[in-house]
Structure 1
Amino acid sequence: MKLSRIAAYAWALVLTVALSLTGAGVAAAATQAAGSHYVALGDSYSSGVGAGSYDSASGSCKRSTKAYPALWAAAHSPASFNFTACSGARTSDVTSSQLGPLSSTTDLVSISIGGNDAGFSDVMTSCVLYSESTCLSKVAAARAYVDSTLPGLLDSVYSAIRSKAPNAHVVVIGYPHFYKIGGSCIAGLSDTSRSAINGAADELNTVTAKRAADHGYSFAEVVSGFTGHEICTSSPWLNSVVWTNIGESYHPTAAGQSGAYLPAFTRAA
């Protein structure tokens, strides 16, 4: 039986309204998904040291507009974005001075932390300036610290985050391998020292990932993202020794932030 002209018109009107409401619902859902309240915590690998374009207001924390938190925020336009990561930060610095913006409305948190606690800056300085044996000794001491002491410090940070932001999805981000073993470097550290440093990064990532998982947090690894772009490759995404600005040594470049850290965080966020 054919619909009358009036009935057909009414039916079409109902369909139009229904489709409009559906479209509005989809748009609202998309807006809500993009409206995260995001807080970026952590050390220099999160603040963006080595990437340049630092926010002058961040002072010695050296927060870069090219760091992955700023890049993610620019791409997703969250309802709020607080960037408290700071160069040189240790676990105690996170708990004492970075957690202020966290609240029950925070729904996304990123953090990289632990490298400074383990003394990686001292490791790299010793490896560059002194003998291979000194380098290997420093690496061994750092790995021992990562195994014995760092887990408890990470637990304290992760518990503090959960206490202040109980509804947040927390993404813990790891560290890269620094060197391509057997790569293009013809001077500097021996491959033995380079392998030991990479191994220490693996140890740090393993411990960090385990502690993150035990707290129900996601872990975003970046080793694979930097593969082919380590120091001693033709297109490194990590600074080697920067004699004119030593603090930027062994940190991701802007390409490392956008090409490795940002994708890793985006997948886990």
Structure 2
Amino acid sequence: MFLTFRAEAAMRRVRVLATLLTAVAAALLLAVPASAAGAIRYAALGDSYASGTGTGQYDPASGSCNRSALAYPSLWSSAHQVASFSFVACSGATTDDLLANQASALRTTTTLVTVSIGGNDVGFGDVVTTCTIGSDQDCANAVQRAETEVRNTLPGKLDRTYAAIHGAAPSARVVVMGYPRLFATGACWLSASKRTTLNDAADLLATTIAGRAAAAHFTFVDGRSAFAGHGICAASPWINGVTWPVSDSYHPNRAGHANGYLPALDAVTG
């Protein structure tokens, strides 16, 4: 009888141990897909405002794309536990360039996409050059031509680009990063007329991009609010004025990426 009791006790311990092992095994099996589902696979697309042109420090391997470890995509990736990071934004990129050269970085497993695109499609680089060296009227004429492109051709280009992004990464959260106004109010080396004209153009560009992002069910980050009070000629500017190299002019500086774009992206990605 004593032996029977000891045998039953042993069997109970075996059953308890088996139950514990089964629970542990089940937890491990469940943890694998949960971890995979929560992994961040981030692709950063776009133009110079995404690549980091203006920060003054670039990855030599990126060539003329001027990708920087100080740009907001790199900063965001470094601050989060990402399973993969595809940084393909390139200075000078248009929507056509993005479709031809950057969209291939997207996967069906991509979970986050950021994109800044559209300014080069309407010749904004040429506009600011004209406004810098030309008369007030030259600036107004250049902006008027760009605004015509913003109204008439840019929406279709953005729609096509956003549709391609969704098609290549259908499960991804897509965040469209908008452009800031370039200039602060107050005293400045550029005339008040030119600054107002350029800032008004930035408003139209932002409104147009925001509208197309909303139509695509993407999240829009307004660069104007992200950089408010820190334009060119502000006490603490987050955008370069005319600088050397010239290609860094009129682009967010290191503070612009770290203190402007990065917190704004964090705010919508949690």
Q: 2:45 aligns with which of 41, 45, 48?
A: 41
Establish whether residue 124 from structure 1 lines up as the match of residue 100 from structure 2: no
Q: d(CA) in 1 for partners of 2:116 and 2:70?
A: 16
More helix by share: 2
Question: Aligned to 2:82, what secondary structure does the other structure show?
Answer: coil
Name the % identity: 49
Q: Map of 1:34-113 to 2, 5 A cutoff? A: 35-113=39-117
CA distance in structure 1 between the aligned counterparts of 2:122 and 2:47, rounded to whole angstroms: 13
1:253 is matched by which residue type in structure 2?
A: N
Provide the C-alpha distance between the structure 1 equivalents of 2:49 and 2:64, rounded to a whole number of angstroms.
14
SS at match of 1:60: helix
Uncovered stretches (5+) of structure 1, i.e. residues with no partner: 1-13
One-letter amino acid of the counterpart of residue 86, structure 2: N
Code of the aligned partner of 1:245: P
Q: Which amino acid aligns with 1:238?
A: I
- Secondary structure, counterpart of 1:71 in structure 2: helix
Name the SS for the 1:117 alignment partner. helix
Deviation at 1:31, TM superposition (A): 8.3
Q: Which residue of 1 aligns with 2:166?
A: 162
Alignment partner for residue 181 of structure 2, among 171, 177, 181? 177
Look up the SS of the partner of 1:194 in the other structure: helix
Return the alpha-carbon distance in structure 1 between the equivalents of residues 234 and 216 of structure 2: 36
Q: Which amino acid aligns with 1:263?
A: P
Deviations 1:165-224 (A, max 9, x none): 111110001000111122x32x3x211110110111110110101101111111011211
Q: Encode CA deviations 1:80-138: one digit per residue, 9 max, x unaligned.
A: 10000000000000000001121110111000000001111000000111110000111
Between the aligned partners of 2:236 and 2:256, the Cα distance in structure 1 is 10
CA distance in 1, matches of 2:105, 2:191: 44
151, 154, 176: which one aligns with 2:155:
151
Pairing 1:127-138 to 2, within 5 Å after superposition: 127-138=131-142
Counterpart-to-counterpart distance in 1, 2:223 and 2:34: 30
* Partner amino acid, structure 1, of 2:233: C
> Which residue does the alignment assign to 2:207?
206
Task: Name the SS of the counterpart of 1:201 in structure 2.
Answer: helix
SS at match of 1:232: coil
Q: Distance in 1 between matches of 2:220 and 2:79?
A: 21
C-alpha change, 1:31 and 1:105, in structure 2 (3 Å) is: closer
Bigger radius of gyration among the two: 2
Alignment partner, residue 259 of structure 2? 259
* C-alpha separation in 2, matches of 1:82 and 1:72: 12
Q: Figure out how many residues of one structure are paired with residues of the other and give that number.
A: 251
2:15 aligned partner: none
Instruction: Indicate conservation of the 8 Å contact 2:185/2:234, yes or no.
Output: no
State the alpha-carbon separation in 1 of the partners of residues 164 and 224 from structure 2: 27
Relative to 1, partners in 2 of residues 1:218 and 1:77: Cα closer, same or farther, differing over 3 Å? Answer: same
Q: Are 1:233 and 2:234 counterparts?
A: yes
Whether contact under 8 Å (2:56, 2:248) holds in the other structure is: no
One of 106, 114, 119 as aligned partner of 1:115: 119
